[in-house]
Amino acid sequence: MNMEHGRTSLWILGDQLRLDHPGLEQADHVVLVESGRLLRRLPYHRQKLVLLLSAMRHYAEALRERGFTVDYVRAPDFTYGLRQHIERYRPTRLLTMAAADHAGRQWQTQKAEAVLGLPVVVLPNTQFLTGRYNPFPAPGKKVILENFYRAMRRHFGLLMDGEAPVGGQWNFDRENRRPLPKDAAPPAPLRFPPDALTRQVMAEVEAAGYGLGSAANFGYAVTHAQARAALDDFIAHRLDLFGPYEDAMTARHRTLYHSVLSPYINIGLLDPLEMARAAVDAYHAGRARLNSVEGFVRQVIGWREYMYWQYWRLMPQLARSNHWRATRPLPGFFWTGETEMNCLRHVLRSALETGYTHHIERLMVLSNFAMLAGLDPQAVTGWFKAVYVDAYDWVMQTNVIGMGLNADGGQLATKPYIASANYIHKMSDYCAGCRFNAKARTGPDACPFNTLYWNFLISHEAALKANPRTGPAVLGVNRLSADERHDIQRQARRFLDAL
Ligand code: FAD
Ligand code: SF4
């Protein structure tokens, strides 16, 4: 017992499963709560439910092996579970690490003490590098990714040669963005056969009857050691070609050279610095090329940290943003994958079956379609949150509302990520097997991405022209005749009405 504070219980959230959790040193007991309400709030993918529950239970075991007393509570909700724990262990204070999401942190800092009837101490969140070093602490300031990323690289000394970036450049994007060659055979990510504890969770999740997809064939890592093995496997077998094919899409392979580590880093099984350093070490050891290593480091300590930093800058307004006034409900095929559009069908089916698709599929197929079709931003966010194994509020609101749908009016990304079929055709092999024609924008075989893209440019011509980064794209609209404009708008309306 801590003489200064009396008996301390440490409440560890399910996405904070760190072995170096900052509260462990002061804890007399640890409490983990499985909240039934949280698990049922959305029709979450069963792979995600198994991942979370099994990782939490394995974590509880790991802490017990290290000598901690762990109270693992299964309760209808957090309040009920924490009250049960307090009754049993009679702590004099509750310690917890600040939640990564806005609603959770509001509850911890503003309600928990009153609801639980004891002092609640909220420790700073150390899961993110910005919790250790915040390069831009003034929250009102708008900062572009590139400046944020360079500040992080400098501070953490990643790929630095004194003050200069290794290789003389901060960014090697021009060497990346290649389509996948026909003969490429990316090695699949490491999978882990479920142990008895995971099999028990899989059976529970299937029997509970809620959620989507299936718990069968579960193969995600659920312990720190497994997550580290998944990281090592990525570094050894896929990192070297990660950069060149980062943006490629194919119907032949689901994960390409991506790391598939987001499910682990987002719940504390991996640390961002550990991931970035492992990649940099591979570069110095001559095992991975610089453009790949820099690209990966930028994703982990650049984009990921930037999104978290932006989330806390822009919430709660971010969640209510709807800059383009999009109100169309989500089409039913998002839940079934049943659409004639080959790219969408492939990506939706992958997401619905596995809870994973890679970044460009999320951005340039799913959100691109959602934005061009004017789908309601919160409906789209709800879908992503339910389906993806790595989805949490901080990363959803920023990536879907901000990056994907530009519903924040450009706070996060300087231009909307919209494209016609041209982009998908160039970066994937989806169009070859599609009933639509990627070159046509009107007519019975016209690719809906083309019709909707041009319809979007026509509908938002003035706003897009005013943005220097999108202005040039809209110039094409000037070349359309009145008849062509009319045909595009009529065909788009018919397509959207049929959704
Ligand atoms: P890799 O391509 O191997 O990248 C390495 C790591 O970089 C990832 O594991 C991830 O931790 C990090 N990263 C890269 N880009 C981002 C980013 N924009 N935001 C946050 N982290 C990033 N990421 C999630 O973790 N959860 C989500 O729910 C999520 N939803 C998204 C929805 C949309 C519409 C978009 C456009 C992006 C979303 N992302 C999300 C970001 C990114 O797509 C995923 O992090 C990435 O695809 C995860 O796969 P990976 O681990 O194979 O990533
Ligand atoms: Fe997608 Fe259009 Fe290509 Fe079909 S033609 S795969 S709908 S981009």
3-state secondary structure the chain: CECCCECEEEECCCCCCCCCCCCHHHCCEEEEEEEHHHHHCCCCEHHHHHHHHHHHHHHHHHHHHCCCCEEEEEECCHHHHHHHHHHHHCCCEEEEECCCCHHHHHHHHHHHHHHHCCCEEEECCCCCHHHCCCCCCCCCCCCCHHHHHHHHHHHHCCCEECCEEHHHCCCCHHHCCCCCCCCCCCCCCCCCCCCHHHHHHHHHHHHHCCCECCCCCCCCCCCHHHHHHHHHHHHHHCHHHHCCCCCCCCCCCCCCCCCCCHHHHCCCCCCHHHHHHHHHHHHHCCCCCHHHHHHHHHHHHHHHHHHHHHHHHHCCHHHHCCCCCCCECCCCHHHHCCCCCHHHHHHHHHHHHHCCCCHHHHHHHHHHHHHHCCECHHHHHHHHHHHCCCCCHHHHHHHHHHHHCCCCCCCCCCCCCCCCHHHHHHHCCCHHHCCCECCCCCCCCECHHHHHHHHHHHHCHHHHHHCCCCHHHHHHHHCCCHHHHHHHHHHHHHHHHHC
Of ligand 1's listed atoms, the one at least distance from the Cα of 358 is 47
For residue 263, whether the previous peptide bond is cis, meaning omega lies within 30 degrees of 0, is no
Cα 427 to averaged position of ligand 2 atoms, centre (Å): 12
CA dihedral 121, 125, 126, 129 (to 10 degrees): -150
Cα 463 to averaged position of ligand 2 atoms, centre (Å): 27
Of the candidates 351, 305, 390, the residue with the CA atom closest to the CA atom of residue 55: 390
Residue 177 has a CB neighbour count (10 Å cut-off) of 16
pLDDT at 415: 85
pLDDT at 413: 86
Q: Residue 338 to residues 218, 347, 348, 392: CA-CA distances in angstroms?
A: 24, 11, 9, 26
Instruction: Report how far Cα 347 is from the mean position of its chain's Cα atoms.
Output: 16
Cα 447 to averaged position of ligand 2 atoms, centre (Å): 6
CA distance 252 to 182: 9
**Ligand 1 proximity of 391 Cβ (cutoff 6 Å):** yes
Of the candidates 257, 282, 448, the residue with the CA atom closest to the CA atom of residue 365: 448
Of the candidates 328, 355, 237, 257, the residue with the CA atom closest to the CA atom of residue 299: 257
- Ramachandran area for residue 471 (φ above 0: left; ψ -120 to 50: alpha; else beta): alpha
Cα 359 to averaged position of ligand 1 atoms, centre (Å): 6
CA dihedral 270, 107, 109, 117 (to 10 degrees): -120
Cα 220 to averaged position of ligand 2 atoms, centre (Å): 31
pLDDT digits (tens, 9 = 90+) for 189-245: 999 999 999 999 999 999 998 899 999 999 999 999 999 999 999 999 999 999 999
pLDDT at 247: 96
**Ligand 2 proximity of 280 Cβ (cutoff 6 Å):** no
pLDDT at 2: 58
pTM for this model (two decimals): 0.96
**Ligand 1 proximity of 396 Cβ (cutoff 6 Å):** yes
Cα 443 to averaged position of ligand 2 atoms, centre (Å): 14
Cα 437 to averaged position of ligand 1 atoms, centre (Å): 30
CA distance 215 to 199: 10
CA distance 256 to 247: 10
CA distance 296 to 359: 12
The single-letter code of the amino acid at 176 is N
Sign of CA dihedral 418, 419, 425, 430: positive
pLDDT at 3: 56
Give the chain's residues under pLDDT 50. Answer: none
Instruction: Report how far Cα 203 is from the mean position of its chain's Cα atoms.
Output: 27
Instruction: Report how far Cα 198 is from the mean position of its chain's Cα atoms.
Output: 24
Q: Residue 392 to residues 12, 117, 217, 355: CA-CA distances in angstroms?
A: 16, 29, 23, 13
pLDDT at 470: 78
CA distance 312 to 190: 34
pLDDT at 155: 97
CA distance 72 to 75: 10
Residue nearest to atom 50 of ligand 1 (CA): 260
CA distance 161 to 109: 42
CA distance 10 to 91: 10
**Ligand 1 proximity of 85 Cβ (cutoff 6 Å):** no
Q: Which one of 250, 333, 431, 441 would you pick to mutate in the ligand 2 pocket, going by the greatest count of ligand atoms within 8 A of its CB?
A: 431
**Ligand 2 proximity of 388 Cβ (cutoff 6 Å):** no
**Ligand 1 proximity of 307 Cβ (cutoff 6 Å):** yes
| Nearest ligand, CA 248 | 1
The single-letter code of the amino acid at 409 is G
CA distance 297 to 302: 7
**Ligand 2 proximity of 431 Cβ (cutoff 6 Å):** yes
Are the C-beta atoms of 367 and 326 separated by less than 8 Å?
no
Per-residue exposure over 259-296, b if at least 16 CB sit within 10 Å of its own CB, e if not = bbbbbbbbbbbbbbeebbbbbbebbeeeebbbbbbbbb
Residue nearest to atom 3 of ligand 2 (CA): 431
Cα 247 to averaged position of ligand 2 atoms, centre (Å): 17
| Nearest ligand, CA 399 | 1
Residue nearest to atom 6 of ligand 2 (CA): 431
**Ligand 1 proximity of 266 Cβ (cutoff 6 Å):** yes
**Ligand 1 proximity of 386 Cβ (cutoff 6 Å):** no
